[in-house]
Amino acid sequence: MRKRVVDLPKRFSNKRPALKSLIHRVLRGAEGHESRSRTSKRRDARGPVAKNPAKSQTRLTAGRRAELVADYEAGIPVRSIAAKYGVHRGTIPKFVLGSGGALRTPGLSGADRVRAAALYADGLTLKEVAERLGVDDKTVRNAVVQEGGILRPQGRRPAHANTK
C-alpha cells in the first residue's frame, strides 16, 4: 500500500497571534530586540522630522487672517468662512478674538424674536419663518418659546391661517 502525502494550503493553518509571536521569537533567537529610539530616523537640514500628523494644519498669513476676520465681521456664516479658508470652524472665533474683534451673539435680536413669534402665530411653519429671517428653524422654535408662544404639532397650521 502506498502512502499519500497531502499538502494543505496555508489558509488551513491559521495560527493564533500568541503562537505566531512565540514562533517568531524562537526563530529570531535569544538575542531579543533593541528598544525603539525616541528620535525620528527621518531627518533634514534642520534635524529630525516628525511623521506627518493625522490632520495637517492650515497656516494663514497675517493678510489672510485679516481677510478672515473681515469676512466674519461682515456677517458671513462661520461654516462658509471655514470652507473658504480651509480651517476648522472652531478656530475662527480664536482668530477674531485674537485680532481684538467681538464675537457675534447667536440667535435672534429681541425685535426679531417678537417678529418670529408673530409670523409663527399667523400660521407660518417654523421652517417658513426661519427661511424668511435667514436663521435655523431651531432658532425660531427657541424664539417662539421665549416669547411665550405655544408650539403646534409638527406640520399643523392654525385653522385661521391662509393656505396659499
Residue 70 in any domain: the answer is yes
Q: Can you give the pLDDT at residue 24?
A: 78
pLDDT by residue, tens only, the chain of 164 residues: 667 766 666 666 677 787 777 777 787 775 555 666 665 567 777 777 666 666 666 688 889 999 999 999 888 888 889 999 988 888 899 999 998 888 887 777 788 888 888 988 888 888 888 888 888 888 888 888 888 888 887 766 666 655 55
* Enclosing domain of residue 88: 62-98
pTM for the whole thing?
A: 0.41
pLDDT reported for residue 161? 56
Whether 148 is in a domain gets the answer yes
Look at residue 55 in the predicted model and tell me its pLDDT.
63
DSSP code, position 34: P
Whether residue 91 is found in the same domain as residue 139: no
Indicate if 134 and 158 belong to the same structural domain.
yes
Q: Which residues contact 137 (CB under 8 A, 6 or more apart)?
A: 126, 127, 129, 130
Q: Rounded to the nearest 5°, which phi and psi values hold at 148? A: 85, 10
Q: What is the predicted pLDDT for the residue at 70?
A: 93
E strand or H helix that includes residue 43:
strand 43-44
Domain count, the chain: 2
* Beta bridge partners of residue 44, listed in sequence order: 47
Report the CATH number at residue 140: 1.10.10
Side chain identity at residue 161, one-letter code: A
What's the pLDDT at 149? 83
Judge whether 135 lies within some domain. Answer: yes
Together in a domain, 109 and 164: yes
DSSP type of residue 102: -
Residues 158 and 115 in one domain: yes
Distances in whole angstroms, Cα of residue 33 to Cα of each of 16, 23, 29, 30, 65:
22, 15, 10, 9, 49
DSSP class of 44: E
